[in-house]
Structure formats: C-alpha cells, structure tokens
C-alpha cells in the first residue's frame, strides 16, 4: 500500500480534534498511518532562507507544520483565504475585502510549503490536498518535479463563473486546477458550477468521458460528498451523560450548532423562529431554541458584524416572547465537547440547519446519527446546504432567505406524527450510514489512483509517439 500524505491548512495537534475536515481525515490517518502536513502561526521565523518544517510527533501518523509569521497569517489566512476566497465561493462578493499583497502572500506561502515539503515525499506516496487555502499547491509541487498522484478536495461550494471573475487573476486560478489528477467537490451542484466556469472562462471542452480538456491538459472532476463516522457518533449519543434540563417550561427543544459564520444564515434563522412565534397557533407548545455558535476568524470584520447582529436579534426575540421561566432563545458562544454535543442532538426534538450556502454541513448528518430511531427528531434543512442532495427524502427542506418558509418548517416539525418522523429518519440514516467517512476516503482515493494511472498511460503513449 502506498503512503498517504495529506495537506491541509491546519494539522490536528490534540487527541480529540474538532471541525469537519480534521475529524474526517484524522480517523483515516489514525487507522492507516501516513504523513499530515499543514501550517501554524509562529511569532517569528529565524533567518531568511527556507527552514525545516516543525515536527509534532504523533502516535499513529507523522505531523509536520510550516511556521507562518503573523504577516503571512494575515495575508494568506485571514486575507486571501478568508476575506477573498471564502466569501466569493459562498456567493458573497459583497463581503469581499481585497488588500494589497494578499494574493502574493497566498501564492508565496503555497510555494514555500511546496519547497519545504518536497524533500519529505517518497516516489510512491499518494498526495491529497485539502481546501481553498492550498489550491495552488499541486502546481507548485509539479514545478519542483513531483510526479506523484495528487488529488484535491474542496470542502466549500464551487462558485459560478461570475464569482471567479471577481478574483484579481482568474486565468492563473483556473490553471492551478490542471496540476491535479483529480478534483473532488462535495455535490453535483458544485461539479456543474466547475464545468460551467471552465467552459465559460477557460474555453474548456467537456469530453464524453466526463473529463475537461483545458489548455493542453485534462481535468478530472467529480463529486464525493463527505461523510461522518455515523455509527461512532450514534454510539456517542447513546452513551452521552445525562444532560441538565435545558430550560424550565419549554416542552420542545430545537437546536442549532454552527461556527459563527455569515454563510450559516444565523440571523435569518432567528427571523424565521421569530415569525413562527408570532404566528403560532398552539400556545402550550413552547419551544426553547438553543443556538450554539462559537466565534471564529474574529480578526475579520465581517465576523465581528455577524456576532453583533446575532446578539441584538436574540435579545429582541427574548424581549418579545420571553416570560418568567421561559426564554425562547438561548445563545451560547462556546465550543462543546463532542460527546456532550452528541447528547444534546439526541435530546433535541428539532434541528435547524439553515445555511445560506454550505459545502456539505456535517451538523445535519450528526443530528440524524444521534437520534433514537424509535422516537427520532426532525431535521429542518436549507436547500442550499450540500447535504440537501443526500437528505432530501427525510429532511424538511426550506428556503433560508424566507422567514415564512423556516416558520412553516418549524410548525410542520412540531406537529409531525411519530410514524412520519420514523420514516423520514430511516431514509436519512440509511444514506449517512452507507456513505460515511470511510466510504468517502476510500472512494476518493480509489478514483485518484485510477485517474493518476490513466494520466501515466497517456503520457507514456504521447512520449512513445514522440509528442
């Protein structure tokens, strides 16, 4: 078996990592071993020349990190990755914040990472690069003569052609993808956007075998919806410690768990709950809405704004509908340990997962996995979450931009008969149990091996033909 080398912006350092990407890959690496390379911010780099990667000895796989200076962190991570690519890929060109030097720093961090990593690579390694921080990395590795199979997986949505037009240098951007043997995206929607963007902006031609002919090469793109450790999460929920009463007089508990991010549609969600409370007919059926949203990327202005908006709105809803012993919205800013989160999901009668745009959304899958199949809760899911492609049969799909649509979803969820809840849950459970994270890694890596083998065959063919 070849060694797997994973690249992502962050390398997991603790024993119990959190965050979608890291959790999914950590399980794979812990079971099959390999090398994981990423970045970490350091106060100062000594000297000018390239230095060694920082080694973090681990039990089952090797971990190396490249130290980023605060300036690189600002330009590459907070800047180009999270103030340009993240908003654009989520269809929020209005939140774009372009500063001089970001693009150059983004490229130089990627090229330095390639230089420092290349000596650690072996000829039979399979390389898997993750997410929008590292799109140019394969291009940089190829320049250094790395011939290994290299796959890329994008965890966030792929934008439409117009989104890419808002990038400062979109010709270079398309070029970066042609260095990969395989580009993996979350959904069919993303694959359609990818093909559309390459045809419109790059004059690419779609071949009958699904590949794109672009410039002088080919790009293989497909969707690989990321999964969770479904049985593991279900077990954690079953074994979760007793939870304290969430609220005194509420009869039903509704939950939302998200990083505090504008793509997650949190203010819209609160407006939807507010609309439900205004219209509700069943006075006795009081719902407590528990929203857990730890702040992230707080140095980016758009993230400060969303925090302020949300605090204001939850105060408004509580002022309008709160009573002695009844607080409609509980808003918690902390991160919660996974076992406790699993228990909270199981306890909740309804989950509100209403992003405006989301690559997949693992919370939706975790909520389903945590349910008691004899008396499961109801998932209210945005049609703009990648997970909606897989969970359409069981979830209540809503339009997150429309408060009335969210309110309608909550009304249906509150009144849904047990039989219907069971049928819907069974459909969703069967999907997430079959397409779990083991399936995701295995399928991607098999497709990568095939794609790389076919590239080698055609290279040998053209070399033999003297081209």
Name the residues that contact ligand ADQ, by CB under 6 A: 18-21, 23, 155-156, 226, 257-259, 292, 294, 335-336, 341, 358-363, 366
Q: Match 């990395």 to its residue by tokens.
A: 137
H or E stretch covering 143: helix 137-143
- Measured between alpha carbons, how far is 123 from 458 in angstroms, rounded to an integer? 19
Measured CA to CA, the distance from residue 77 to residue 92 in angstroms comes to 18
Q: List the beta bridge partners of residue 257.
A: 292
Kindly compute the dihedral angle of the four CA atoms of residues 36, 37, 43, 45, in this order, to the nearest 10 degrees: 140
Taking the least distance from each CB to ligand ADQ, the nearer of 39 and 178 is: 39
Concatenated DSSP letters of 8-29 = EEE---SSS--SHHHHHHHHHH
> What Cα–Cα distance (Å) separates residue 141 from each residue in 137, 147, 437?
6, 8, 27
H or E element that contains 129: strand 126-130
Q: Is 208 helix (H, G, I), strand (E, B) or coil?
A: coil
**Bridge partners (DSSP) listed for residue 40:** 67
- Helices 266-279 and 301-321 cross at an angle (nearest 10°) of 10
Distance in angstroms (rounded) separating the CA atoms of residues 204 and 366:
38
* CA 349 – CA 346 distance, rounded (Å): 8
User: Phi and psi for 151 in degrees, rounded to 5?
Assistant: -110, 155
Q: Determine the straight-line distance between the first and last CA of the chain, rounded to whole angstroms.
A: 33
CA distance 67 to 79: 17
Residues 6+ positions from 463 with CB-CB distance below 8 Å: none
- Supply the DSSP string of 284-339, one letter for each residue: T--EEEEEE--B--TTSHHHHHHHHHHHHHHHHHHHHH-BTTB-SEEEE-S---HH
Longest dimension (CA), the chain: 83
């Amino acid at each position: 078996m070849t060694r797997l080398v994973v690249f992502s912006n962050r390398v997991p350092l603790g024993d119990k990592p959190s965050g979608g990407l890291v959790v999914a890959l950590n399980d794979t690496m812990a079971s099959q071993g390999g090398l994981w390379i990423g970045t970490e911010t350091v106060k100062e780099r000594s000297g000018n020349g390239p230095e060694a990667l920082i080694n973090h000895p681990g039990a089952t796989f090797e971990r190396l990190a490249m130290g980023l200076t605060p300036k690189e962190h600002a330009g590459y991570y907070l800047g180009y990755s999270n103030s340009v690519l993240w908003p654009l890929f989520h269809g929020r060109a209005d939140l774009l914040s372009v500063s001089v030097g970001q693009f150059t720093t983004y490229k130089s961090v990627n090229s330095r990472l390639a230089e420092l990593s290349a000596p650690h690579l072996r000829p039979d390694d399979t390389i898997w690069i993750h997410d929008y921080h590292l799109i140019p990395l394969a291009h940089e590795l190829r320049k250094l003569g790395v011939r290994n199979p290299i796959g890329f997986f994008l965890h966030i949505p792929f934008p439409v052609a117009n989104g890419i037009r808002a990038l400062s240098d979109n010709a270079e951007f398309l070029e970066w993808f042609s260095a990969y043997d395989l580009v993996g995206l979350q959904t069919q929607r993303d694959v359609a956007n990818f093909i559309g963007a390459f045809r419109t902006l790059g004059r690419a031609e779609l071949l009958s075998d699904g590949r794109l002919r672009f410039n002088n090469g080919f790009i293989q793109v497909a969707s690989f919806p990321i999964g969770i450790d479904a049985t593991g999460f279900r077990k954690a929920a079953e074994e979760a410690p007793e939870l304290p009463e969430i609220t005194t007089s509420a009869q039903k508990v509704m939950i939302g768990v998200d990083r505090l991010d504008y793509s997650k549609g949190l203010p819209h969600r609160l407006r939807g709950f507010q609309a439900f409370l205004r219209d509700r007919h069943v006075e006795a059926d009081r719902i407590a809405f528990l929203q857990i949203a730890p702040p992230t990327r707080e140095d980016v202005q758009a993230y400060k704004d969303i925090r302020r908006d949300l605090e204001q709105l939850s105060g408004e809803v509580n002022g309008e509908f709160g009573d002695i012993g009844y607080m409609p919205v509980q808003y918690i800013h902390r991160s919660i340990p996974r076992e406790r989160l699993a228990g909270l999901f199981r306890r909740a009668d309804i989950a509100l997962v209403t992003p405006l745009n989301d690559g997949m959304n693992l919370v939706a899958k975790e909520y389903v996995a945590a349910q008691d199949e004899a008396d499961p809760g109801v998932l209210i899911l945005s049609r703009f979450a990648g997970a909606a492609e897989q969970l359409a049969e069981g979830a209540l799909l809503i339009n997150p931009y429309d408060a009335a649509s969210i309110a309608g979803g909550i009304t249906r969820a509150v009144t849904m008969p047990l039989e219907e809840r069971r049928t819907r849950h069974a459909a969703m459970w069967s999907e997430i149990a079959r397409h779990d994270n083991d399936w995701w890694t295995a399928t991607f890596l098999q497709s990568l091996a095939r794609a790389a083998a076919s590239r080698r065959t055609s290279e040998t063919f053209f070399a033999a033909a003297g081209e």
